[in-house]
């Protein structure tokens, strides 16, 4: 039923888009900006991911700005790094919104850190930031390390799962986030078997309906609100119910666990949350805490899985890089007690370079957007009106030879300490930048590095001849779940 309704809406919206395509066809030309066809229409009728479409526009037009529309919304694709810096950081007061619309009845989406409500976003971010301090993550690392060990045991004893490696790494990232949020389930032998893992894995799998809802939210925000659509409506019962159940059971448990639920309990114990600079107040309800738990999965599970996936794919294409990485990992494990410590992670410098290069070549988010919240002017002199959208072509920037020599070559040495300083500011944006930079950067790195270190301690990769992934249709990410590589047990 929902699919039929959405399909009808989709046809109506396409007609409306065609109308606005004509009426806004000259919007950017008055500022002497090249204007091309509507980006949302191209995405809707294409099988390609939006980052691929935007990158093609980036490559085809040697200009600093590309004007387009997203249905009814004038949209500017910005290639100039000074303008990008202004949008993400310097002129944050004019671009503090991601432009991702939500409805008040959508308990999960309306309370995520992607929200448009600036005051609510600022307060929630203030309260969640301490979760990701070095001290908190050090205490939490035992959870990540246990999940990494269980992950390798799963890989070793399940040859069938190894045939679809993306599903394997997705199970690990989902499991480690589940354990970091809800704690380690003592009722199961392996963290990979937690009931939360399978439920979350299914709930967060991309779907056609969700893609359509995202497009409607971004191109027809008024209609989206009128229809009271929900971005995560089908997941709401699971996440809210799970968090409520765990919170209630843990209110009477004094054991220190250092997981996210413990942080939630501390916030609730402290009462009403308040931003003293603005006076804005918010009650830390179970539903609000459930939304933050959902945020962990939405922002982290798939993006971290993709980073691991592409790292492994490129290592299978580059045996010399793989051999060098094995050498570093083996050295860290030598003489150890069969486990990684928090301090060991810092010793894996070459692994860090490999991950950074994987995120350059395949950024977790291939295109970012910001909604202009008040009239302003970019450093390059282009006026941006309130309600316009800025698109930042991350994938295009990361593959631009102006910023990265031989951008299609996988070269971790780009991220040697002496080379990092040579990378142009705001040309490398795997986690975004500015006030809305991904809050979970440190957690994601720990999770990915621990998982890859344990996996490549036990396994190596069968060399293959430059396997190039094909990306599936996605509004923001670069997903290639069918890309394959073969894991083989090492003789150590």
**Of residues 483, 450, 468, 436, the one with CA closest to residue 152:** 450
Environment class of 470 (CB within 10 Å of its CB; exposed 0-12, middle 13-18, buried 19+)? exposed
Is 484 known as a binding-site position? Answer: no
Q: Using a CB cutoff of 8 Å and minimum separation of 24, what contacts does 201-205 make?
A: 201/170, 201/171, 201/174, 201/301, 203/234, 203/235, 203/238, 203/239, 203/297, 204/174, 204/235, 204/297, 204/298, 204/301, 204/302
147: left (phi over 0), alpha (psi -120 to 50) or beta: alpha
Count of CA atoms in the C-beta half-sphere (13 A) of 477: 20
Known binding-site residue numbers: 438
The binding site for heme comprises 438
């Amino acid at each position: 039923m929902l699919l039929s309704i959405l399909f009808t809406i989709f046809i109506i919206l396409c007609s409306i888009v065609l109308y606005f395509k004509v009426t806004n066809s000259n919007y950017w030309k008055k500022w002497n900006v090249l204007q091309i066809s509507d980006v949302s229409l191209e995405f809707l009728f294409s099988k390609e991911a939006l980052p691929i479409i935007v990158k093609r526009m980036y490559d085809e037009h040697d200009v600093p700005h590309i004007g387009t529309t997203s249905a009814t919304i004038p949209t500017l694709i910005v290639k100039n790094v000074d303008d990008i810096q202004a949008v993400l950081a310097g002129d944050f007061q004019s671009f503090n919104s991601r432009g991702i619309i939500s409805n008040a009845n959508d308990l999960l989406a309306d309370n995520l850190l992607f929200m448009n409500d600036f005051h609510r976003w600022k307060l929630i971010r203030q309260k969640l930031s301490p979760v990701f301090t070095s001290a908190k993550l050090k205490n939490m690392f035992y959870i990540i390390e246990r999940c990494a060990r269980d992950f390798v045991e799963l890989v070793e004893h399940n040859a069938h799962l190894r045939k679809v490696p993306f599903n394997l790494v997705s199970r690990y990232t989902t499991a480690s986030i589940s354990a970091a949020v809800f704690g380690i389930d003592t009722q199961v032998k392996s963290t990979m078997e937690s009931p939360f893992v399978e439920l979350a894995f299914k709930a967060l799998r991309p779907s056609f309906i969700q893609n359509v809802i995202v497009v409607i939210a971004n191109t027809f925000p008024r209609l989206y609100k009128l229809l009271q659509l929900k971005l995560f409506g089908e997941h709401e019962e699971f996440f809210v119910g799970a968090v409520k159940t765990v919170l209630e059971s843990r209110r009477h448990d004094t054991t220190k666990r250092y997981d996210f639920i413990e942080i939630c309990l501390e916030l609730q114990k402290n009462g009403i949350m308040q931003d003293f600079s603005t006076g804005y107040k918010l009650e830390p309800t179970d539903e609000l805490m459930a939304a933050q738990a959902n945020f962990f999965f939405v922002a982290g599970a798939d993006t971290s899985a993709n980073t691991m996936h592409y790292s492994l794919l490129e290592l299978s294409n580059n045996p010399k890089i793989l051999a060098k990485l094995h050498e570093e990992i083996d050295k860290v494990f030598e003489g150890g007690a069969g486990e990684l410590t928090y301090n060991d992670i810092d010793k894996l410098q070459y692994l860090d370079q490999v991950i950074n290069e994987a995120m350059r070549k395949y950024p977790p988010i291939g295109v970012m957007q910001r909604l202009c919240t008040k009239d302003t002017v970019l450093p390059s002199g282009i006026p941006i009106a309130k309600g316009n959208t800025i698109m930042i072509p991350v994938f295009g920037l990361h593959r631009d030879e102006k910023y990265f020599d031989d951008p299609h070559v996988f070269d971790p040495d780009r991220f040697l300490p002496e080379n990092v300083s040579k990378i142009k500011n705001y040309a490398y944006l795997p986690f975004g930048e500015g006030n809305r930079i991904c809050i979970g950067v440190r957690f994601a790195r720990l999770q990915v590095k621990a998982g890859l270190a344990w996996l490549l301690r036990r396994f190596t990769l069968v060399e293959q001849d430059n396997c190039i992934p094909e990306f599936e249709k996605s509004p923001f990410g670069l997903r290639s779940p069918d890309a394959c590589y073969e894991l083989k047990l090492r003789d150590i």
